[in-house]
């Protein structure tokens, strides 16, 4: 947790942004820091970049995440027979 002292002009801008965006003052500050960090080249993990999309895809009941090891072994076994003699 951090405490920040703002001059009157910055505080007024923060209040206006908060009302305009429908966010709390803390949310506006967090969004601003995130934006500045992105501009500065601060790297985020792949998970952080894709977090909003994790778990929203529906495979239509295909259960693509089950028994992946078995499926991968079967795929590799099928390919090994297709190799050319060396």
Q: Per-domain residue ranges for the chain?
A: 8-80
DSSP 1-64: -------HHHHHHHHHHHHHHT--HHHHHHHHHHHHHHHTT----HHHHHGGGTT----SS--T
For the entire predicted model, the pTM comes to 0.47
Are 30 and 21 in contact by the 8 Å Cβ rule? The answer is no
Query: What is the sign of the dihedral through the CA atoms of 66, 69, 72 and 73?
Result: negative
pLDDT tens across 11-26, in order? 999 999 999 999 999 9
22-47: average pLDDT: 86
Give the model's pLDDT for residue 45. Answer: 80
- Segment 63-86 shows an average pLDDT of 78
């Amino acid at each position: 947790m951090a405490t920040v002292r703002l001059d009157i002009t910055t505080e007024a801008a923060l209040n206006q942004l908060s009302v305009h965006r429908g966010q709390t003052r803390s949310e506006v500050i967090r969004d601003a820091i995130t934006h500045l960090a992105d501009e500065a080249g601060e790297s985020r993990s792949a998970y952080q970049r894709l977090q909003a999309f994790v778990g929203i895809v529906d495979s239509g009941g295909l259960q693509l995440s089950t028994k992946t090891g078995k499926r991968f072994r079967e795929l590799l076994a099928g390919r090994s027979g297709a190799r050319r003699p060396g």
